[in-house]
């Protein structure tokens, strides 16, 4: 498959005088794990919203899963999954009810729901908890469950906004196992994180500074280019120069 | 003391920097007063009327001129009474018979599909067409409308609206402002500071007491200059009683804030939860005397009921403290109870 | 009665439950005067509960705690004069300016900005250019600095910082820790919590926490020293496959561009990765995160 999962060219978003996203261009390959990094206020969230079909760009062009962000927002939404640290599941619905609800939204049939739901519960080892309210689960399980639900309809691309914030180190790695598995099954993963070690798990990463993408490459090449030992240093070298103060 | 003042100043910053608060504070009372004063009155103004004058003599012309001059009626030039009624164009019609001069009889027809309006209009008309000079054999009923000779409908509403507006504003603003501190996490810092938690409560209450009194002045000004409602009693007494009522509402707001965690809930409880009981049980829209006993008993626990009585007595009837001391005592009792409970319930810790 | 010789913070058998969930389980530890002490653990470990108990905001169900010699229940008023606290959430008035926030908190704590300016000078100078800006309009990093200034303005004996760097980017995090190091030199006792394991090394002593209990408490060096096995970093061209392959035989976790493997010998490891290309195996010293994972697994 040569088709690109995401392409964007000169993508820009202005709020009044403020240029939140300043003329960014990049491509994400199908099946790739793409790390989308940047300092607070660099414009990550704004860019991600445009790609998810939640807001229109001011100028530029972009296509997600082959669909134009200006004209085909509804098609984009059918073909992506989304999960963030803040958006999770309904706390007062049970594990099963959440799965059924989100599966239903994406148009899974009853048969599919049953099969996928059970598969998902077994994979996460939640057999004993399937009738528990999601609110009662530990954070790590919630996040894993939220991710699995976000890809229950086998989307072409899944957007993950700081999915592992505040999670313990073991669960964090289990979460990345799930990400790898999703990527192996052909889902393109677009992920933001504040953990620099997680940047290393991505195939390629981009680093946003003040609304622009200042660097985009594989972790290894970036480290080489900035003569750094770790991604932490690369990030520091780039983001230190950030001027933007608004969040 | 300095801490207290700084706290109060901070509260004022919050209020004057938040458009939503300002809107509630000054937009709401203005809107309410104008709404109740103009739109929601039982008074009938500019009712369309057809006058059919078959007599066409001096006496009938004189009466028609009187009807025309009244602000209650608007004479419709039409002639066909029945058609006009059917179309709903007119509320009322007056027919002067050809021999009006001799018979001294006229016919009044009113659209009684709205019986209240019909009754009001016929009453107005009867009053207007009374002959100017008394005939020796005629008994002219002289009615005098106590306290409201012009039957100004705004009068009844103004004290009620004052009670309603103060109730809603005081409870909403205080509860929301405290809950906002909880949501922002600033409450944690306030509690961890050496500043006495009781002072936190008081420092929250003082600015809103001041603002509510400003609101009260605004309502009074609107009532006097826009709705022509007079203030007959002592202004000082009125302010003192209002302060008492405001403090009871503030305490209620504090109480709400201690049981809620989000601004929306606080807003909902204080707006919705307070609005309905206040409207129902204050007595300015629905007479309390007509209610079944259980509801009458409930109404006794609504502070605005007592305040409404006081404002009516002082503002409209010009009565002094001797006339309202009982109600004042009840209100004061409620205020002290509410304030004590809310200060006691205000936690010096998070949970 | 306060005694200068005793520790700045002492917890003895503290337990706190919310309904059916136990937030903190029979916890005891102490923090010395002038120490920079870290509570390291994920969300739900009980860090915030400990802070709230120590800052007198919550009552423990069982156990005793003292701060600067004062009991957190009985002497809460004394403690409130002596501690600075930065809660997990951004906790300043968004609609007040930088300056107004600082003055408000200074007055609240019975002091003035002038009186204690030396305390916050270094930090405040970084945000001074924006002093007339509303706090809500500051960037994440600057909000943290302002919050720190407000927590310090009354020269507290003990400073409690609950996850000050969560959600803050790597650059601001680094700056924040540099500020803490300088504060420590002024003699303030600092208790700080963080979910970021890499920040543990910046503390003098740390408690690794999970589910309301302490897994280990010591200096970062001692905790790392106590790691029982040899630790190897491995990498190959196909990392995910490598992870799957090694995991069948040994404890193996991804760490940046390498996998960290423990519990087997170097020779055995070399055998397991035969099918891979571009293999690099090297012995590495364990970090706090390695130790945390190890303790977590042992605990379960």
CATH number at residue B91: 3.40.1710.10
Please tell me whether residues B186 and B101 are part of one structural domain: no
Cβ-in-10-Å burial (0-12, 13-18, 19+) of C30 comes to middle
Quick check: C196 contacting A, CB < 8 Å? yes
Q: Which range (A16-30, A134-148, B325-339) has the least confidence?
A: A134-148
pLDDT band at B43 (very low <50, low <70, confident <90, very high): low
Domain hosting A226: range is 4-239
Residue B66 included in any domain = yes
Please tell me whether residues B110 and B183 are part of one structural domain: no
Domain hosting B331: range is 2-40+152-345
d(CA B169, CA B304) in angstroms, rounded, equals 13
Angle, helix B58-69 to helix B115-129, in steps of 10 degrees? 130
Interface test with A, best of C211, C257, C297 (most A CBs within 10 A): C257
Residue A186 included in any domain = yes
The pLDDT, as a whole number, for residue B131 is 61
Domain total of chain A: 1
* Share above pLDDT 90 across residues of chain B, in percent, rounded to a whole number: 12
Q: What is the CATH classification number for the domain harbouring A9?
A: 3.40.50.300
Nearest to C292 among A162, A169, A232 (CB): A169
Chain A: nearest CA to C153, how far in angstroms? 24
Angle, helix B321-345 to helix B197-225, in steps of 10 degrees? 140
The pLDDT, as a whole number, for residue C207 is 96
The alpha helices in chain C, defined as continuous H runs, are 47-54, 76-82, 98-108, 117-127, 140-152, 170-185, 220-225, 239-247, 266-272, 288-299
Please tell me whether residues B90 and B178 are part of one structural domain: no
The pLDDT, as a whole number, for residue B136 is 41
* Mean predicted confidence (pLDDT) in A95-122: 88
* Mean predicted confidence (pLDDT) in C227-244: 89
The pLDDT, as a whole number, for residue A242 is 72
Please tell me whether residues B195 and B333 are part of one structural domain: yes
Contact yes or no for B299/B281 (Cβ under 8 A): yes
Contact yes or no for B52/B94 (Cβ under 8 A): yes
The pLDDT, as a whole number, for residue A246 is 41
pLDDT band at B45 (very low <50, low <70, confident <90, very high): confident
Q: Give per-residue pLDDT as tens, B248-265.
A: 999 999 889 888 888 888
**Three-state DSSP class for residue B199:** helix
Contact yes or no for B70/B111 (Cβ under 8 A): no
Residue A247 included in any domain = no
Report chain A residues whose CB lies below 8 A from the CB of C166: 165-166
What mean pLDDT is reported for chain C? 90
Q: Do B192 and C59 touch (CB under 8 A)?
A: no
Interface test with C, best of B186, B192, B195, B263 (most C CBs within 10 A): B192
Please tell me whether residues B33 and B53 are part of one structural domain: no
Tokens encoding A23? 């003329």
d(CA A162, CA A42) in angstroms, rounded, equals 15
Chain B: nearest CA to C43, how far in angstroms? 18
Q: What torsion do the CA atoms of C202, C203, C207, C211 make, to the nearest 10 degrees? A: -50
Q: Give per-residue pLDDT as tens, B175-202.
A: 988 898 888 888 888 888 888 888 888 8
Q: Give per-residue pLDDT as tens, B199-246.
A: 888 888 899 999 999 999 998 998 888 888 888 889 999 999 999 999
Question: Where do we find the tokens 């994972």?
Answer: C293
This prediction's pTM: 0.82
d(CA C292, CA C297) in angstroms, rounded, equals 9
Residue B142 included in any domain = no
Residue B178 included in any domain = yes
Please tell me whether residues B209 and B322 are part of one structural domain: yes
Residue A245 included in any domain = no
- Hey, which residues 57-76 in chain C have their CB within 8 Å of chain B? 57-59, 76
Quick check: A240 contacting C, CB < 8 Å? yes
Q: Which chains form contacts with chain B, at 3 or more CB pairs under 8 Å?
A: C
Q: Which range (A176-190, B62-76, C4-18, C189-203) has the least confidence?
A: B62-76
Contact yes or no for A52/A159 (Cβ under 8 A): yes
Report chain C residues whose CB lies below 8 A from the CB of B349: 56-59
Nearest to C104 among B10, B188, B351 (CB): B10
Residue B80 included in any domain = yes
The pLDDT, as a whole number, for residue B292 is 86
Q: Which of B78-87, B94-103, B123-132, C200-209 has the highest mean pLDDT?
A: C200-209
Q: Give per-residue pLDDT as tens, C157-166.
A: 999 999 998 8
d(CA A144, CA B337) in angstroms, rounded, equals 51
Please tell me whether residues B334 and B231 are part of one structural domain: yes
Residue B65 included in any domain = yes
- Note whether A touches C: 3 CB pairs or more under 8 A: yes
Give rounded-to-5 percent helix, strand, coil for chain C.
35, 25, 35
Q: Pick C293 or B71 by higher pLDDT.
A: C293
- Hey, which residues 145-174 in chain C have their CB within 8 Å of chain B? 150-151
Question: Where do we find the tokens 């600095």?
Answer: C145
Domain total of chain B: 2
- Which of B129, B161, B178 corresponds to the end of one domain? B129
Residues ≥6 apart with Cβ < 8 Å to A109: none
Q: DSSP letter at A94?
A: B
d(CA B315, CA B269) in angstroms, rounded, equals 30
Please tell me whether residues B12 and B60 are part of one structural domain: no
Q: Do A236 and C42 touch (CB under 8 A)?
A: no
Contact yes or no for C204/C183 (Cβ under 8 A): no
Chain C: nearest CA to B253, how far in angstroms? 21
Residue A200 included in any domain = yes
pLDDT band at C200 (very low <50, low <70, confident <90, very high): very high
Residue B223 included in any domain = yes
Q: Do C89 and B184 touch (CB under 8 A)?
A: yes
What mean pLDDT is reported for chain B? 82
Rg (CA), chain C: 22
Report chain C residues whose CB lies below 8 A from the CB of A197: 254-256
Please tell me whether residues B331 and B184 are part of one structural domain: yes
Question: Given a cut of 50, is residue B145 above it in pLDDT?
Answer: no
Q: Do C297 and A40 touch (CB under 8 A)?
A: no
Neighbours of B1 (CB within 10 A): 6
Q: Which of C151, C193, C157 is nearest to C66 (CA)?
A: C157
Residue B137 included in any domain = no
Q: Do A168 and C255 touch (CB under 8 A)?
A: no
d(CA A83, CA C60) in angstroms, rounded, equals 36
Rg (CA), chain A: 18
d(CA B123, CA A35) in angstroms, rounded, equals 82
Chain C: nearest CA to A122, how far in angstroms? 19
Question: Given a cut of 60, is residue B137 above it in pLDDT?
Answer: no
Please tell me whether residues B324 and B216 are part of one structural domain: yes
Residue B73 included in any domain = yes
Give the nearest chain A residue to C21 (CA atoms): A136
Q: Domains along chain C? A: 9-224 (3.40.50.300), 227-299 (3.30.70)
């Amino acid at each position: 498959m040569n088709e690109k999962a995401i392409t964007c060219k000169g993508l820009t978003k202005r709020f009044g005088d403020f240029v939140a996203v300043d003329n960014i261009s990049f491509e994400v390959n199908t099946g790739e794990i793409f790390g989308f990094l940047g300092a607070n206020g660099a414009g990550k969230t704004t860019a991600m919203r445009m790609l998810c079909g939640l807001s229109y760009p001011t100028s530029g062009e972009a296509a997600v899963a082959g669909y134009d962000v200006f004209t085909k927002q509804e098609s984009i939404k059918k073909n992506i999954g989304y999960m963030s640290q803040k958006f999770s599941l309904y706390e007062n619905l049970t594990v099963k009810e959440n799965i059924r609800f989100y599966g239903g939204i994406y148009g899974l049939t009853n048969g599919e729901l049953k099969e996928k739901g059970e598969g998902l519960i077994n994979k996460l080892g939640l057999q004993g908890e399937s009738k528990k309210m999601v609110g009662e689960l530990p954070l790590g399980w919630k996040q894993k469950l939220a991710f699995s639900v976000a890809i229950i309809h086998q989307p072409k691309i899944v957007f993950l906004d700081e999915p592992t914030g505040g999670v313990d180190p073991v669960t964090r790695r289990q979460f990345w196992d799930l990400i790898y598995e999703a990527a192996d099954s052909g889902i393109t993963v677009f992920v933001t994180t504040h953990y620099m070690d997680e940047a290393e798990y991505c195939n390629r990463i981009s680093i946003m500074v003040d609304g622009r993408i200042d660097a985009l490459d594989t972790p290894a090449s970036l480290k080489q280019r900035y003569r750094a030992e770790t991604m932490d240093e690369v990030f520091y070298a780039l983001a230190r120069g950030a001027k933007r103060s608004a969040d | 003391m300095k801490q207290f003042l700084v706290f109060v100043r901070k509260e004022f910053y919050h209020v004057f920097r938040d458009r939503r608060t300002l809107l509630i504070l000054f937009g709401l009372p203005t809107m309410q007063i104008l709404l109740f004063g103009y739109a929601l009155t039982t008074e009938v103004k500019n009712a369309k009327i057809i006058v059919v004058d078959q007599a066409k003599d001096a006496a009938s012309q004189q009466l028609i001129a009187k009807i025309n001059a009244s602000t209650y009626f608007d004479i419709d030039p039409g002639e066909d009474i029945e058609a006009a009624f059917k179309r709903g164009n007119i509320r009322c019609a007056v027919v002067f018979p050809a021999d009006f001069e001799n018979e001294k009889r006229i016919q009044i027809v009113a659209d009684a599909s709205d019986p209240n309006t019909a009754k009001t209009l016929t009453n107005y008309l009867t009053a207007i067409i009374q002959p100017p000079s008394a005939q020796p054999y005629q008994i002219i009923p002289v009615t005098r409308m106590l306290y409201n000779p012009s039957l100004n409908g705004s009068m009844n509403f103004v004290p009620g609206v004052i009670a309603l507006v103060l109730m809603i504003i005081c409870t909403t603003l205080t509860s929301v402002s405290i809950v906002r501190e909880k949501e922002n996490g600033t409450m944690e810092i306030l509690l961890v500071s050496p500043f006495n938690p009781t002072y936190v409560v008081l420092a929250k209450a003082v600015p809103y007491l001041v603002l509510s009194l400003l609101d009260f002045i605004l309502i009074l000004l609107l009532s006097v200059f826009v709705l022509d409602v007079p203030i007959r009693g002592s202004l000082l007494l009125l302010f003192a009683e209002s302060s008492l009522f405001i403090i009871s509402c503030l305490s209620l707001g504090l109480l709400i804030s201690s049981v809620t965690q989000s601004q929306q809930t606080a807003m909902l409880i204080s707006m919705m939860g307070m609005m309905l009981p206040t409207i129902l049980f204050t007595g300015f829209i629905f007479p309390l005397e007509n209610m079944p006993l259980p509801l009458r008993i409930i109404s006794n626990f609504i502070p605005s009921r007592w305040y409404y009585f006081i404002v009516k007595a002082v503002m409209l009837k010009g009565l002094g403290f001797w006339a309202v001391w009982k109600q004042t005592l009840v209100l004061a009792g409620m205020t002290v109870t509410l304030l004590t409970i809310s200060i006691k319930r205000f936690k010096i810790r998070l949970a | 009665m306060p005694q200068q010789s005793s520790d700045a913070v002492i917890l003895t058998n503290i337990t706190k439950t919310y309904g059916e969930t136990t937030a903190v389980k029979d916890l005891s530890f102490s923090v010395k005067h002038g120490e920079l002490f870290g509570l390291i653990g994920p969300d739900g470990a009980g860090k915030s509960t400990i802070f709230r108990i120590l800052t007198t905001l919550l009552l423990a169900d069982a156990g005793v705690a003292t701060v600067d010699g004062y009991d957190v229940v009985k002497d809460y008023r004394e403690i409130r004069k002596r501690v600075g606290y930065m809660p997990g959430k951004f906790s300043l008035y968004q609609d007040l300016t930088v300056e107004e926030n600082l003055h408000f908190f200074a007055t609240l704590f019975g002091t003035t900005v002038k009186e204690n300016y030396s305390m916050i000078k270094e930090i405040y100078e970084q945000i001074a250019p924006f002093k007339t800006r509303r706090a809500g309009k500051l960037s994440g990093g600057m909000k943290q600095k302002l919050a720190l200034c407000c927590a310090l303005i009354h020269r507290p004996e003990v400073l409690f910082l609950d996850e000050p760097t969560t959600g803050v980017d790597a650059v601001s995090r680094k700056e924040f820790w540099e500020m803490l190091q300088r504060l420590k030199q002024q003699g303030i006792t600092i208790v700080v919590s963080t979910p970021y394991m890499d920040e543990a090394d910046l503390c003098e002593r740390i408690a690794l926490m999970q589910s309301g209990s302490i897994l280990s408490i010591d200096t970062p060096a001692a905790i790392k020293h106590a790691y029982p096995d040899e630790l190897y970093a491995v990498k190959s061209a196909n990392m995910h496959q490598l992870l799957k392959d090694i995991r069948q035989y040994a404890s193996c976790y991804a760490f940046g561009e390498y996998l960290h493997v423990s519990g087997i010998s170097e020779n055995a490891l070399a055998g397991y990765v035969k099918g891979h290309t571009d293999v690099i195996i090297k012995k590495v010293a364990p970090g706090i995160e390695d130790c945390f994972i190890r303790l977590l697994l042992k605990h379960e």
